Amino acid sequence: MERLDKVVYAPSIRSGQYDLLAISEIEDFRRPLLTPIISARGDNLRMIHSFAEQWTGDHFWIDSSRFSQDSQSELPIKLNDPSNNFQSKLDTFRQIKAINDKVLPIVGFRSGDRQRNVVQFALKLYSEFSIVGIRVEGSGVVLDKNISTARALLNAISDDDLKRTVLIIDAWSINEMPSLQEGSSIQKMLALLDDYEIGKVITVSTSWPDDRPDRGTSAVIACIDPYWQAIVRKKLLQQNVSHIYGDYAATNPTKDLLDDYDPTKMAQPIPFAGYYSDCQWHQERRGAGGENEKYREIAEIFRSLPNYHGDTFCWGTKAIAAIGSGNRVKSGNMAFWNKIRINQHACAMLGDISNGILDKLANPHDRQYDDLDDLI
């Protein structure tokens, strides 16, 4: 597990073209600190193979998408097929490993999957990969079934394999602080640590909203993912369990259809973009459908924000500056600006975590974190 010791952030994305490109644009000096989680979707593996070929950072994770809006695309249908203990998914993971041996597999499953299929699939992964992730997700009855499957899997592996297991707790989409009380979904997932000596946990959620400001207006939306994860992290560290923060990099795969925008198939939407800083997103929506020159106006608004990171901060801010100043001939469309948003969010969130934001949020009354008042 030593290869993940420096990692502090796990941006989770679906394998759309612009999502993968956004992560690919992250600079080399940032890559050792993050471990991307990729949920495979679409009709083929071309973009994932391309990502694997060029990724020079630390480990990255591969999973199959189980989001409803991906359920009818070719890859999820193939990878989520339990035939022969998920043989198609196993073959796919092997293909990606042959391209880049830093890939790590995730054992993800649906509540209706048979436990035997999941366990047999997982045992094969443990025999071929150095680290294996077990992803637990859902709520209510779905979560209870998934936890039962996770327990069956954890009971089937050896103590040595348990030491190279990462538990991925995925809260999906949230619009308020999730309950951390006994019996809550989060606590049910964390309870696995009471019975199994797992040394590392990744927590994931997204509070990116599914609605948009009215045309011609802006909005400031709280990014609440760090708040609940900071509390969980503090508890985990007290139990000597290592923690990695994760989010969906300013996307919401359970709700936001425009995150899947394809200019070749969909009508041009009203220009919209978001910018992350200090646990909030500034959103702008300008012009009419297809009026993409309005993105230059949005870019200049972002550059004028008091918490703007600067034109050279990351690939995303460089693109914003080039569009706003007119140095870039094209102002971009929704797909390109989704790429900007994901990249800028990932780089800025990585900076916040590296600068101790989770410690500050978990210890708001500690005098060394007096500057927390600027964030809440």
Six-digit token string for 64: 């199959």
Angle between helices 115-128 and 140-156 (to 10 degrees): 50
pLDDT of the residue at 93: 98
| CA nearest neighbour of 230 among 66, 76, 321, 360 | 360
Per-residue pLDDT of 10-28, as tens digits, reads 999 999 999 999 999 999 9
Q: Alpha carbon 207 to chain centroid distance?
A: 11
Quick one: angle between helices 315-325 and 294-303, nearest 10?
Answer: 120
Helix (H) or strand (E) holding 104: strand 103-107
- Domains along the chain? 2-211+222-258 (3.20.20.80), 263-354 (no CATH)
Residue (of 352, 197, 333) closest to 276 by Cα position:
352
Q: Is 305 left (phi over 0), alpha (psi -120 to 50) or beta?
A: beta
Residue 34 φ then ψ, to 5° = -135, 155
CB atoms within 10 A of CB 32: 14
What element of type H or E holds 348?
Answer: helix 334-354
The pLDDT tens digits of the residues spanning 216-267 come to 999 999 999 999 999 999 999 999 999 999 999 999 988 655 555 666 766 7
Instruction: Tell me the sheet residues that pair with 243.
Output: 201
How far is 20 from 25, CA to CA, in rounded Å? 9
Angle at the Cα of 265 (from 261 to 268), degrees rounded to 5?
A: 60
Q: Which two tokens stand for residue 208?
A: 């990116």
Q: How far apart are the C-alpha atoms of 105 and 90, rounded to whole Å?
A: 9
Q: What are 220's strand-pairing partners? A: 282
Quick one: pLDDT at residue 254? 81
In this predicted structure, what is the pLDDT of residue 367?
65
The candidate with the shortest Cα–Cα distance to 289, out of 316, 266, 259, is: 266
Closest listed residue to residue 168, CA positions, set 81, 232, 92 = 232
Residues of the chain scoring pLDDT < 70 = 1-2, 255-263, 265-266, 366-376
pTM (predicted TM-score):
0.94
Number of neighbours of residue 6 by Cβ within 10 angstroms = 11
